[in-house]
Copies of this chain bind each other. A is one copy, B any other.
Amino acid sequence: MSRQRHPLDPLFMPRSIAVIGASRHPGKIGYTIVRNLLESGYKGRVYPVNPSAKEILGLKAYPSVLDIPDEVDMAVIAVPVGLVNRVAREAGEKGVKVLVVITAGFSEVGNKEAEEELVRIARQYGMRVLGPNIFGIAYTPIGMNATFGPSRIREGNIAFITQSGALGIALMGWTAMNELGMSAVVSVGNMADIDVVELSEWLADDPHTRVIAIYLEGLKPGTGKRFMERMREVTRKKPVIVIKAGRTRRGAAAVASHTGSLAGADTLYSAAFKQSGILRANTVEEMFDWARAFATQPLPRGRNTVIITNGGGVGVLATDAAETHGVPLLQPDEDLVARFRRVMPWFGSPKNPVDLSGQAGVDNYVGALRVAYESDKVDNIIVLYCQTAVLDPIDLAKAITDVAEEYRDKQKPLLVAMVGGIETFEAMKILNRKNIPAYPSPERAVSSLAAMLRYTWYREKTTRGTRTD
């Protein structure tokens, strides 16, 4: 990396990692972290630290971090809460730059003193702290999975920051199953030191990250203004999508009992998100739907959208969704109508939605896609497919990826939705693996394009004359 060293570089790109509290016993957190580091392809050195083991997973173990012969950038700490500050101090003596404190039992259960002491120790030695009370951090560009979550993470361009541990781990598996490609997964827990803002700032300059998705329960009291001001700078560079849990009265109370965060008045959060250009999702599913589009497609250059379909019904549902979410459907002019008509059966409809009819085959879709890519009037393309006997969804998926590749230079966002049985499920996997966002319902594709349009509109409004890209 040629860019200047950033204080969080050792967190995302450590050259060596000590796992303090490493374990030989499968099922233990200190075992899983070492195993995940080994299995994820991390190229730096890994040093298990455990006073009563000589070797862990084939690696030499050290009684203390101070016994490690080489430099250590990052220390992952997974020892009982009573020992954390002692090993943190040792890490400081060793010259460790960042602590990833997995251990729970700090401010989230009222033990504020120990957490404050941890931060004091870190400051004294110039260390930064992620956590405590977290499942770790993963950064796929260097193959680092320093979490006790699933070992498999699909590589990609979505950075996910989560304030909830259990949900975050569960979502790691969920993203892999759903073919969502991740650049980073960061558990922030109690945010004793490093917080969502600082992480977002680092990720905003990370060439491997195209969108930042955040599960947020609450900010620390008094940090709202700083959040807003600095996140505004982040969203000038990258889209940020937040799901804010605890938005209702009762939900806020649940947050308080969960992480001890002040959820605060939801209207304040809404205003802050809006002011800083953050996209607010209503559900986790929606957040990742949108992230999938941002991570794989170019930003829209304009708003004129064309829907290509083989089913009138899904076309209507998509049209309803487009109007609801503010996605303008292009009224094709005579010339464009004539072009679409040339690539469809006579009983199809060249209006928008462009209905190729239930008899449509691969050729019709390819033809319509070419027309849409080649027309200067079309900015964005949504392809819908209802499973039929005459067109195999896998064939269609392959054809779509080919055409999209051919017209890559056109820089037009392309989103797909498919409705049908197990074959469409497989076809959507193919598309998603090839970085064409595919959704199981027309509404979810439209909602994702709408999020892209909102972000583009916001960015154009705020960066007039100061565009950085």
Contact = CB atoms under 8 A, between A and B. Distances in A.
Interface of A: 27, 32, 109, 148, 150, 162-174, 176-177, 215, 217, 243, 245-251, 253-255, 257-259, 282-285, 310-317, 319-320, 322-324, 329, 347, 349, 351, 353, 355, 358, 386-390, 419-425, 440-441, 443
B217 A313 contact: yes
**Interface centre among A172, A312, A390, by most B CB within 10 Å?**
A312
B424 A173 contact: yes
A325 to B, nearest CB: 10
A282 B325 CA distance: 13
Contact of A174 (B217, B324, B355, B421): B421
Contacts of A322: 250
B248 A319 contact: yes
Given A166-B358, A167-B419, A170-B386, A258 B315 contact: yes
Given A251-B323, A257-B349, A388-B169, A177 B421 contact: yes
A170 B311 contact: yes
Contact of A316 (B255, B353, B420): B255
**Interface centre among A171, A255, A319, A353, by most B CB within 10 Å?**
A319
A362 to B, nearest CB: 16
Contacts of A176: 421
**Interface centre among A251, A285, A313, A349, by most B CB within 10 Å?**
A313
Given A248-B323, A311-B167, A422-B173, A317 B284 contact: yes
A258 B422 contact: no
A250 to B, nearest CB: 5
A164 B168 CA distance: 39
Nearest to A282: B443
Nearest to A32: B389
Given A353-B254, A355-B258, A425-B177, A316 B217 contact: yes
Nearest to A324: B248
Contacts of A168: 313
A37 to B, nearest CB: 16
Nearest to A165: B358
Contact of A319 (B32, B166, B172, B250): B250
A425 B429 CA distance: 15
A252 to B, nearest CB: 9
29 contacts: A27-B389, A27-B390, A150-B421, A162-B313, A163-B313, A164-B313, A164-B314, A166-B313, A166-B388, A168-B313, A169-B387, A170-B314, A170-B386, A173-B421, A173-B422, A174-B440, A176-B421, A217-B313, A245-B320, A246-B316, A246-B319, A247-B320, A249-B323, A250-B320, A250-B323, A255-B316, A258-B355, A282-B443, A284-B419
A415 B137 CA distance: 33
Contact of A284 (B258, B353, B390, B441): B441
A340 B8 CA distance: 43
A215 B313 contact: yes
Nearest to A27: B389
Contacts of A217: 313, 316
A212 to B, nearest CB: 18
Given A167-B313, A169-B387, A177 B422 contact: yes
A358 B102 CA distance: 14
A351 B257 CA distance: 9
A163 B317 CA distance: 13
Contacts of A312: 164, 166, 254, 257-259
Contact of A173 (B150, B253, B353, B387): B387
